Amino acid sequence: MMDVARLAGVSHQTVSRVLNESERVAADTRERVLAAMRELDYQPSSVARALKTGRSRTIGVVSFDTTLYGPASTLFGIERAAHEADYFTSVVSLPRADRESLLMAVERLRRQGVEGVLTVAPQIATISELPHISRGVPLVAVEGGPDEGVPIVVIDQFAGAAAATRHLLELGHATAFHVAGPRDWQEAELRLAGWRDTLREAGAAAPEPLFGDWTPESGYAHGRELARMADVTAVFVANDQMALGLLRALHEAGRRVPADVSVVGFDSIPEAPFFTPPLTTIRQDFIEMGRRSFELLLRQIEGGERLDVRILIEPELVVAASTARVA
Rounded to an integer, the average pLDDT of 28-33 is: 91
- pLDDT for the residue 43: 78
Distance in angstroms (rounded) separating the CA atoms of residues 268 and 281: 6
Residue 55 has pLDDT above 70, yes or no: no
Question: Boundaries of CATH 1.10.260.40 in the chain?
Answer: 2-44
On the question of pLDDT at 51 being above 60, the answer is no
Average pLDDT over every residue of 20-40: 87
Among 26-35, 126-135, 198-207, the least confident range? 126-135
Q: What percent of the chain has pLDDT over 90?
A: 68
Query: Has residue 303 got a pLDDT over 90?
Result: no
For the cut 90, the answer to whether the pLDDT of residue 91 exceeds it is yes
- Residue 176 predicted with pLDDT over 70: yes
Identify the CA nearest to 152 among candidates 298, 285, 296: 296
Q: State the fold for domain 157-284.
A: Rossmann fold (3.40.50)
Average of pLDDT values for 236-252?
98
Q: pLDDT of 127-163, one tens digit each?
A: 988 988 888 889 999 998 888 889 999 999 999 999 9
Q: What is the pLDDT of residue 157?
A: 97
Which tens digits make up the pLDDT trace of 111-120?
Answer: 889 999 999 9
**CB distance 124 to 189 below 8 Å:** yes
| The pLDDT of residue 225 | 98
CATH 3.40.630.10 fits 2-44, yes or no: no
- Cis amide linkage into residue 258, ω under 30° from 0: yes
Asked if 140 contacts 78 with a C-beta cutoff of 8 angstroms, the reply is: no
Which DSSP helix (H) or strand (E) runs through 59? strand 58-63
From-to residues of CATH 3.40.50.2300 in the chain = 157-284
Report the alpha-carbon distance of residue 58 to residue 208 in Å, rounded.
46
pLDDT at position 184 over 80:
yes
- Residue 210: band (very low, low, confident or very high) from pLDDT cuts 50, 70, 90: very high
Task: Kindly indicate the confidence band of residue 49, based on its pLDDT and cuts at 50, 70 and 90.
Answer: low
pLDDT(53) > 60: no
CA-based nearest residue to 127, from 94, 159, 160, 158: 94
- Comparing 122 with 220, which gets the higher pLDDT? 220
Q: Confidence band (pLDDT; 50, 70, 90) for 235?
A: very high
Q: Which residues pair with 154 in a beta bridge?
A: 312
Q: What is the pLDDT of residue 46?
A: 56
DSSP for 214-267, written as a single string:
SSHHHHHHHHHHHHT-TT--EEEESSHHHHHHHHHHHHHTT--TTTT-EEE-SB
- Would you place residue 12 in the very low, low, confident or very high pLDDT band (cuts 50, 70, 90)? confident
CA 108 from centroid of its chain's CA atoms: 22
Provide the pairing of β-strand 88-93 with 58-63. parallel
- The predicted model scores a pTM of 0.82
pLDDT the model gives residue 246: 98
- Which tops the pLDDT comparison, 25 or 253? 253
Are the CB atoms for 271 and 239 separated by under 8 Å? no
